[in-house]
Amino acid sequence: EVQLVESGGGLVQPGGSLRLSCAASGFTVSSNYMSWVRQAPGKGLEWVSVIYSGGSTYYADSVKGRFTISRDNSKNTLYLQMNSLRAEDTAVYYCAREALYSGSPGGFDYWGQGTLVTVSS
């Protein structure tokens, strides 16, 4: 059974750092396209970052230069290192796997339960 379990959220002051983890089971993280998606309280979904099976990474403009996505293949875990946090980064952060159909991406088919990050003094 495929499962994604996020951890690492919490309260952090503006300018601070936090590292989120997403432990996967039932599939191999390094063979898939993995993303972080966030949702501010009462707002819509916002894509944050992706890491491809080949290791390439991309970011939304809102987090570029501050956030870093990575993975640990030995732990089958995805990470999001968040630095220089701002109040507007407050959100529930989800990790999500992108389905692959004949090698082409086809939507996020599995999501974690989400972890809340609150940036406030």
Partner 1 sequence: EIVLTQSPATLSLSPGERATLSCRASQSVSSYLAWYQQKPGQAPRLLIYDASNRATGIPARFSGSGSGTDFTLTISSLEPEDFAVYYCQQRSNWFSITFGQGTRLEIK
Choices 11-19, 23-31, 47-55, 65-73 (CB under 8 A): range interacting with partner 1: 47-55
Residue 56 touching partner 1 (CB under 8 A): yes
Nearest to 51 by CA among 67, 36, 66: 36
Question: Whole-angstrom Cα distance, residue 68 to residue 4?
Answer: 19
| Residue closer to partner 1 (CB basis): 39 or 70 | 39
Q: What is the largest CA-CA distance in the chain?
A: 47
Interaction of residue 8 with partner 1, rule CB under 8 A: no
Q: Rule CB under 8 A: say whether 11 interacts with partner 1.
A: no
Beta strands 45-51 and 57-59: pairing type? antiparallel
Is residue 113 a contact point for partner 1 (CB under 8 A)? yes
Minimum CB–partner distance for residue 81 and partner 1 (Å): 19
Q: Does 55 engage in binding with partner 1 (CB under 8 A)?
A: no
- Is residue 6 within 8 A of residue 38, CB to CB? The reply is no
Distance between CA atoms of residues 85 and 70, nearest Å: 18
CB of 119 to partner 1, least distance (A): 21
Count of residues making up the chain: 121
Q: Which residues bind partner 1 (CB under 8 A)?
A: 35, 37, 44-47, 50, 52, 56, 58, 60-61, 94, 99, 101, 105-109, 111-114
